[in-house]
Structures are given as C-alpha cells and as structure tokens.
Amino acid sequence: MKKLEQLYRQIIMDHYKNPRNKGLKDDEDYQSEHIKNPSCGDDITIQTKVEDGIVTDIRHEGSGCSICCSSASVLSELLKGKTVEEAEHIAENYLLMLMDKDYDESIDFEDAVAYQGVKQFPARIKCATIAFKAFQNTLK
C-alpha cells in the first residue's frame, strides 16, 4: 500500500509540475466554466471543445493547490478524444469514486486513479473534484 501511495503522489506531482493542455484558447468554439473553491483558494477554468459529439480539446488555467491543478491536467488527458457520452460517464463515476460511493469499476481512469486516496481527507475532496465539475458544466 505504501508503494501505491508513493506512485499516486508521483503522478499528482508530475501533472502539477508539467501540466498538460494548460492555457486557455480565445476561441468561441470553446465552452468555458470557472469555479472557485474558497476553502483552499483553488480557482480553475476549464474549456471544452466539442465537434460532432466528440470532445476534441480540453484546456485549463488557474491557480491553487497541487491536487486541484494536477487534476485539471489529468482530466484533460483522460477525457480528450472521448465522445460526450463517454466523457460524461467517466466524469460522473470519478466523482462517485471520490465520494466513496458505488461507481463503474470497469472504467479505466488512467492517472485519475491517483486521487482515490483523497477520499480519506474530506477537506481535499473539493480540490480533486472541481475541475471535473467545471468540465461537466461545459457540456451543458
């Protein structure tokens, strides 16, 4: 278990230090959603581009703790290229997993599995979920 926790921490720090798909686009084809988490100072914007029912691009920008910023990067890699339906299903089940509820265990969460451990720290759950909640809102 210790090894696994170390691996998860490495994944989170890697995305925090080298965020993927960072930086917003000035393009009206992107839907934006901005969410703040006052309890931690996290402030994140997610941008999503959908073409023919497929999420073709996800961008993010913001500031905050390592969990929040890294999860936006993980999200962008995990859900880019998925259909809107798949992306919604994965995002919903990621939130269920972090809330310690029943979720679809057949999903390959890729690097997002690293946030499983966050459910032990209720104060940090919001940090690990706001990027995904913002993403869900971009699809509405």
| Least CB distance to Zn ion at residue 67 (A) | 5
Closer CB to Zn ion, residue 35 or residue 58? 35
DSSP 40-92: TTEEEEEEEEEETTEEEEEEEEEE--HHHHHHHHHHHHHHTTSBHHHHHHHHH
Q: Between β-strands 54-63 and 30-37, what pairing exists: parallel, antiparallel or unpaired?
A: unpaired
Q: Does 127 bind Zn ion (CB under 5 A)?
A: yes
Among 12-20, 39-47, 50-58, 83-91, which window interacts with Zn ion (CB under 5 A)? Answer: 39-47
| Least CB distance to Zn ion at residue 68 (A) | 4
| Least CB distance to Zn ion at residue 65 (A) | 3
* Tokens found for residue 90: 């994965």
| Least CB distance to Zn ion at residue 26 (A) | 27
| Least CB distance to Zn ion at residue 3 (A) | 25
Spell out the residues 6+ positions from residue 50 whose beta carbon is closer than 8 angstroms to its own: 31, 56, 84, 139
Interatomic CA distance for residues 95 and 108, integer angstroms: 14
Q: Among 14, 22, 40, 54, indicate the residue that binds Zn ion (CB under 5 A).
A: 40
Which has the closest alpha carbon to 45: 28, 27, 61? 61
Q: Does 65 bind Zn ion (CB under 5 A)?
A: yes
Using CB under 5 A, count the residues that bind Zn ion. Answer: 6
Angle, alpha carbons 49-51-52 (nearest 5°): 150
Q: Among 11, 35, 58, 68, indicate the residue that binds Zn ion (CB under 5 A).
A: 68
Residues interacting with Zn ion, by CB under 5 A? 40, 42, 64-65, 68, 127
